[in-house]
Structure 1
Amino acid sequence: MSHSLNEIEAMSKRAARGAGLAWGLAEEAAKGTRWLSAFSFPGVELLAGLLTLNDRLPAVDFSPATLEGCWKAPAGRMSSLIAGAAMSDCAMRMAAGQEIEMENLCFPLLAVPFAGGAALRLGQPVSVSWQGAQFATDGQRLCAQGDRKALLSDRARRVICAAPAEMQGPVAPVQRAEVSVQAWAQLAEFARRTYAPATESSRLLGAGADLDDNE
């Protein structure tokens, strides 16, 4: 099923919010999903997987307990959205030659768009790597090396983010993306939680549209 990038971003934002993410992070999750989809990666499928995994659970459990040393989460697994946002905020550490290391990152590819944002701020490419996978981005283009199974892994035991990175075989973005019907339905289900329930007055207003004023 083909969707425009605008459709993907809008659905992802509402779904992320419906899954309990704060508005700011929901917006970043949507932009990241759009970004991955533009490079023909299954951003929607990855987001649906992460939202399902952490559905309505406390975000603090999947956030870095500290931003010093190797980042670890209290739950033993870390959200790539939360960790990615923190990595982008700490971009100047990479500019100074410091690597950012994360442990047990879920759906690690979802953290790569945040590296793109960091690269734009630093003015130099940033790399994100885990076992069998290597990404580099300058924010506008993306390079990926590794077998597809590793690139789309649902858990990375150790993730390293660093700068500068070498751009080898960069790919330019596209305008539409193929999305699985199942993943789209999953996001739609999360999105429904954000809809305001119908009230008695709204139902009457809706019914009144069909009434004759003379009755």
Structure 2
Amino acid sequence: MSEMAQDPTRAGSEPPDWAGEVMQLSQSEITALATKAARGAGLSWGEAEEAGWACGWLARAGLPAPAMLLRGLDAESSASPLRAGIRLMDHAGLPEGPCALPVTLQDVAEPLVLVPFLARVAERMGAPVDLDLGSHTICLTGREPVPDLSALRGICHRTGARATISVSQSSRAAAPGRFDGRIERGVWQSLDALALLTTVPASEVSRQRAGAQSSDND
């Protein structure tokens, strides 16, 4: 076995056993991959953990969560839905938060990535929240189960969207979502490449620290 293969600082994800161009991941696998990829893309560990949770939530809602996360992480000219969602969630219930006045975000990449965070906003506020995307309005109550949003798959590629968040005047019940853990090979490879950026570059010091520093012999 090569030195690189034995080096824990160079260890990456185990490649899935692909039967074709699409495979199925569990919710925990999606969450772990999304968390590491978000960290590799430059988010703090706290932000990355929120991104991983949101990706798992979106998969439970029946949406192509890994691909949505990747496009959200790739956003450069548009507003990041991850950071915007985290800020809204952190300010839920505060005077300057979304309960005071409607909040409008311009030029949002992959706006459906906002949805899990707004569900948490609704939960913390104790009131339903609307996400108005112009052609669609989504009501989030914050209650379990996660709603079925699979009918919105057609707008997942939308970029530069205008999103308005406000307290809802209704609490329309939605059918529970069905988990969708499918991931395309190219999406997995891109997310895994980002995840590998969280590993520590190999060095003589890191190799020494990776092994035992003392003898077990008395």
TM-score range, shorter chain: 0.7 to 0.9
Is 1:91 matched with 2:92? yes
Aligned ranges 1:91-130 → 2 under 5 Å: 91-92=92-93, 93-96=97-100, 98-130=101-133
CA-atom RMSD in angstroms? 2.7
Q: Percent identity?
A: 28
In the alignment, the residues of structure 1 paired with residue 89 and residue 72 of structure 2 have an alpha-carbon distance, to the nearest angstrom, of 19
More strand by share: 1
Amino acid in the other structure paired with 1:32: A
Which residue in the other structure is 2:79 paired with?
Answer: 78
Aligned ranges 1:1-215 → 2 under 5 Å: 1-54=23-76, 77-92=78-93, 93-96=97-100, 98-139=101-142, 140=144, 141-142=146-147, 144=149, 148-150=153-155, 152-168=156-172, 170-174=174-178, 177-200=181-204
1:24 shift after superposition: 1.5
Structure 1 runs (4+) deviating above 3 angstroms are 93-96, 143-148, 165-169, 173-176, 200-207
Query: Retained in 1: the 8 A contact 2:62–2:179?
Result: no
1:174 shift after superposition: 4.2
Aligned length: 185
Runs (5+) with no aligned partner, structure 2: 1-22, 212-218
Amino acid in the other structure paired with 1:149: G
Runs (5+) with no aligned partner, structure 1: 55-74, 208-215
Looking at both structures, which has the greater relative contact order when contacts are Cα pairs under 8 Å and sequence separation is at least 6? 2
- TM-score scaled by structure 2? 0.74
Change (3 A) 1:133 1:144: farther
1:166 shift after superposition: 3.2
